Structure formats: C-alpha cells, structure tokens
Amino acid sequence: MKVFVVYCHPSDDSFTKHMCDAFIKGIVDSGNEYILSDLYKMGFDPTMTEQEYLRDAYYRNTPDIASDVLAEQQKINSVDAIAFIYPVFWTEAPAKLVGWFDRVWSYGFAYGEKTMKMLDKAIILCSAGNPIEQLEQFGLLDSMKKVMLGDRLFGRAREMEFIVYDNTSRENELREKNWDMNLQKAYEKGYSFFDQGENPEA
C-alpha cells in the first residue's frame, strides 16, 4: 500500500524533519510505499490566484487547473492514504500548508462533483512547542482537530488520526529528554500505519 506524505517545515534543522524521516522509515520497513511532497523544498506556491478563486467561488468545474495543483491531486488519487507532518504555528499549520489546501482542495476535486478518491486513512503528525495540557486547557487542541479533521479531511478519509508531539521548543529541556522516545513513536506509527486505525478523535 502507498501513503502520500505532505511535509511542511522551513528548516531541516528541526524536530519535525526528524519526525518525518522516522515516520517514512517506518513505512518503508513495514514493506509499504510512500511518495513525498516537501512543500518548502518544492517551492510550492500557497497563494491562490484570482482565476483560481473565481473558479471555485462560482463552482466552475473547468479543466483550467494549474500544473502544480494537478500534480498534487494526481498524487492523492494514486495512493491509499495521506499523512500531513508539520509544526504548529499559532494554533495552525504553516501558511504554505494552509495555502496547499486552498489550492489543491479545488472545486470538482475535493468538493462538488468531486474526483478525489476516498482515502483509506489520513493522519496528522504535528509538533508543538507548548505542552499538550496547555493546548487542551485553552481549547487550542480541539480547534486544531476541528479544522483538520472536521473540515479539511471530513468525508475524504475513512479513518483519521491526529497526533501532537508536544514540548518541542528548542529551549524546553523535555525536547531533548523525549527526543528518542518521540522519534521511536513516529517510526512505530509509520510501521503500523496500515494496521487497524484509531478513533477519529484520537
């Protein structure tokens, strides 16, 4: 089976990059396949053009899809599952990934008379500087889940999972203390990715 990994982080010197590498290694070691879109390395343009906006705003299912968007859509329809790996910026994914959704989730593909396949599984692996307890206390974790699982991925995957690796700020002593453990968890998640999925609210 094959998973499409959408990775978004501006720096290779990051926990998130190591997390992505560990997850992919798990996929490969389990005998499965992956394809990767590293949005920063690709120079993916997150800015929706006026033409793209008008096409979607007026629900025009026309064939004038930009080549970079079409390439991402073709990747999605060639796999069984999708994974999004990114750092949390102000309770949200990086702007480049948000723009990826703005453009790739186009009318006629992700909604309307959609041609996007129903994926077997979708997973979000994100790194957060704050502790999970703080994200929960202020309702931020719930907000992140609602946006990713309840809007962007709703009705587009049979099983969904949302995982936060917390305390990853560079000044946080738990970053180094939990480093190996967290990367092992990311590896194991990749290795068992196509096993029985978990609850969408996990």
User: CA-to-CA distance for 20 and 97, rounded, in angstroms?
Assistant: 15
pLDDT tens digits for range 29-80: 999 999 999 999 999 999 999 999 999 999 999 999 999 999 999 999 999 9
Q: Tell me, what DSSP letter sits at residue 58? A: T
Name the pLDDT band for 202 (thresholds 50, 70, 90).
Answer: very low
Of 44, 161, 18, 54, the closest CA to residue 101 belongs to: 44
Q: Is the predicted pLDDT of residue 159 greater than 80, yes or no?
A: yes
Collapsing DSSP states into helix, strand and coil, what is residue 163?
A: strand
pTM of the predicted structure, to 2 decimals: 0.94
The CATH code belonging to domain 2-191 is 3.40.50.360
d(CA 196, CA 11): 33
Residue 20: Cβ within 10 Å count: 24
In the predicted model, is pLDDT for residue 199 greater than 60? no
Instruction: List b or e across 95-134, with b for residues whose CB sees 16 or more CB atoms inside 10 angstroms.
Output: ebbbbbbbbbbbbbbbeeebebeebbbbbbbbbbbbeeee
From CA 69, how far away is CA 110, in angstroms rounded?
A: 12
- Average pLDDT estimate for 117-138: 96
